[in-house]
Amino acid sequence: MGDHHHGPAKGPLRWITTTNHKDIGTMYLWFSFSMFILGGAFAMIIRAELFQPGMQLIEPAFFNQMTTMHGLVMVFGAIMPSFVGLANWLIPMMIGAPDMALPRMNNLSFWILPPTFALLASTLFMEGGAPAAGWTFYAPLSTTYAAPSVTFFIFSIHLLGVSSIMGSINIIATVMNMRAPGMTYMKMPLFVWTWLITAFLLVAVMPVLAGAVTMMLMDVHFGTSFFSAAGGGDPVLFQHIFWFFGHPEVYIIILPAFGVVSQIIPTFSRKPLFGYDSMVYATASIAFLSFIVWAHHMYTVGMPVAGELFFMYATMLIAVPTGVKVFNWVTTMWRGALTFETPMMFSLGFLILFTIGGFTGLMLSIAPADFQYHDSYFVVAHFHYVMVAGAIFSMSAAIYYWLPKWCGRMYNEKMGQMHFWISFIGFNLAFFPQHFVGLAGMPRRIPDYALQFADFNMLSSIGAFIYGASQILFLYNVIATIRSGTPTSEEKTWEGAEGLEWTLPTPAPYHTFETPPAVK
């Protein structure tokens, strides 16, 4: 070892110029948490307005901006970057690589994000307000009837697409070229596998989203008529293109979460993951199927019956590989020596709540039944069970699980357990009643509702406030851990943990695996 073995650069410029995967991972995680707070604030405004029927606090136009911005910020600003941050931190450490394959591009793909979201958030202060057509921004609401800020929105979608694609290219290049000798594909930890497949999905569909917003841009400014019937176009075309991106997108969000849970459940069951091979094949099958089910989001547009049937059966087929995964997680725990530390609690919460979300997804996949559920609060409940209890719960689990390895300090277990239980109760109180009001006919994205939904909506709002508050506790716990947590230097923070990252010293040094480890 020579003196090239330096630590991080001094001063704030370190964070601007860094190419270190750990620094960039940390920045991604903090950025996504700040976006989580921002998107959460939008959600609190929505739930405050819906606390009681009638128009209470905000104007309907502003309400539409809130639902739109909440969705955009949470999907593109909070969930996606948080998993990219996790990938940056962990993939090199898990496959025995010294860094990501393209470190400078890594720096660029992070630093595109803060200006992009500043641009998106700035539309709130523009004349006509922020985008208000929903996070799915269907044309012509997002073209003919959009506020002038739609151009800024389109530009920010382009930029965050560029960032995601660069991040994905980096992850694929790292996994394909930088594995330690002996680390064959079928020996890779499942988190690496799920991210590899996710990255391929991103490279395939982010350009499709870019294409959709480019068409919007041309319709709005350059006189084309992709989505305008007057010029021979068709607004329904927008929905097809959007969901051709949008359905793989939901697996982009959930597959890394599957990977996280597949690392954590074996650790706290003290057993190897049951059915590793089938997990890999199930992940790949889900990714493949995600490309041929998009129209189940638009059963009501007037498709031919054959189309409805095709998309219905293809969608139901996804339950098979997903069922394989749930079965494997449960079987991993079967007769294991279980303990219930915070990461395990969040993983179990994920397992139960994601499965509920999966079942409501199956209900929605039934084309004739979907005509009733379509655009109701039932859909809102469904996708929050898979997005929040799926992606965000697993993200919380991941932070508690790897934080001691990252910073060499143990988090406060009691506070972690409190965070879990408050989240779990708040989440279910917020979203379970939405199934009932949805089935009873309450439409989504409307700032007012009929009186019979008042009680459930009040419960829902209280639950949302509780869930929101629990994240402040989480933030406090993380900061307290980094600043003054009990120091730990054990290589294996968790007795049952397996994998290369647990062979490294704790806290993980700035440079790791400069000589690749031997993998048997």
Q: Which residues bind another protein (CB under 8 A)?
A: 101-102, 165, 168-170, 172-173, 176-178, 203-208, 210-212, 215, 223-226, 228-232, 234, 236-237, 240-241, 244, 302-304
Q: Tell me if residue 460 is catalytic.
A: no
CB of 95 to another protein, least distance (A): 14
The closest of 481, 515, 518, 333 to 402, measured between CA atoms, is 481
Gap between the Cα atoms of 361 and 316, Å rounded: 9
CB of 373 to another protein, least distance (A): 23
Q: Tell me if residue 70 is catalytic.
A: yes
Beta bridge partners of 410: 486
CB of 509 to another protein, least distance (A): 23
Taking the least distance from each CB to another protein, the nearer of 240 and 492 is 240
Q: Tell me if residue 331 is catalytic.
A: no
3-state secondary structure 215-266: HHHHHHHCCCCCCCHHHCCCHHHHHHHHHHHHHHHHHHHHHHHHHHHHHHHH
Gap between the Cα atoms of 393 and 138, Å rounded: 29
Q: Tell me if residue 296 is catalytic.
A: yes
Taking the least distance from each CB to another protein, the nearer of 99 and 501 is 99
Taking the least distance from each CB to another protein, the nearer of 207 and 441 is 207
* 35, 81 contact by CB (below 8 A): yes
Q: Tell me if residue 240 is catalytic.
A: no
Q: Tell me if residue 270 is catalytic.
A: no
How many CB atoms neighbour CB 520 within 10 A? 4
Q: Tell me if residue 164 is catalytic.
A: yes
Taking the least distance from each CB to another protein, the nearer of 38 and 175 is 175
Q: Tell me if residue 249 is catalytic.
A: yes
Q: Tell me if residue 135 is catalytic.
A: yes
Taking the least distance from each CB to another protein, the nearer of 230 and 451 is 230
Gap between the Cα atoms of 218 and 228, Å rounded: 11
Q: Which of 21, 22, 179, 247 is catalytic?
A: 247
Q: Which of 67, 322, 394, 460 is catalytic?
A: 322
* 199, 171 contact by CB (below 8 A): yes
Q: Tell me if residue 234 is catalytic.
A: no
Q: Which of 22, 296, 405, 419 is catalytic?
A: 296
Taking the least distance from each CB to another protein, the nearer of 158 and 270 is 158
Q: Tell me if residue 99 is catalytic.
A: yes
The closest of 286, 289, 270 to 278, measured between CA atoms, is 286
Residue 494 exposed, middle or buried by CB count within 10 Å (0-12, 13-18, 19+):
buried
Number of C-alpha atoms within 13 angstroms, CB side, residue 268? 20
Type and span of the H or E element at 409: strand 409-410
Residue with tokens 């709130």: 124
* 221, 151 contact by CB (below 8 A): yes
Q: Which of 240, 270, 374, 444 is catalytic?
A: 444
How many CB atoms neighbour CB 440 within 10 A? 14
* 178, 95 contact by CB (below 8 A): yes
Residue with tokens 């010029």: 231
Q: Which of 219, 249, 370, 501 is catalytic?
A: 249
CB of 110 to another protein, least distance (A): 17
CB of 207 to another protein, least distance (A): 4
The closest of 306, 296, 311, 202 to 248, measured between CA atoms, is 202
Three-state DSSP at 176 gives: helix
Q: Which of 28, 89, 251, 299 is catalytic?
A: 251
CB of 489 to another protein, least distance (A): 34
Return the sign of the alpha-carbon dihedral for residues 352, 354, 358, 361.
positive
Q: Which of 15, 30, 135, 138 is catalytic?
A: 135
Q: Which of 26, 82, 194, 262 is catalytic?
A: 262
Taking the least distance from each CB to another protein, the nearer of 120 and 204 is 204
Taking the least distance from each CB to another protein, the nearer of 205 and 399 is 205
CB of 312 to another protein, least distance (A): 17
486 secondary structure, DSSP code: E
CB of 391 to another protein, least distance (A): 24
Hey, which residues are catalytic here?
70, 99, 135, 163-164, 247, 249, 251, 262, 296-297, 322, 325, 444
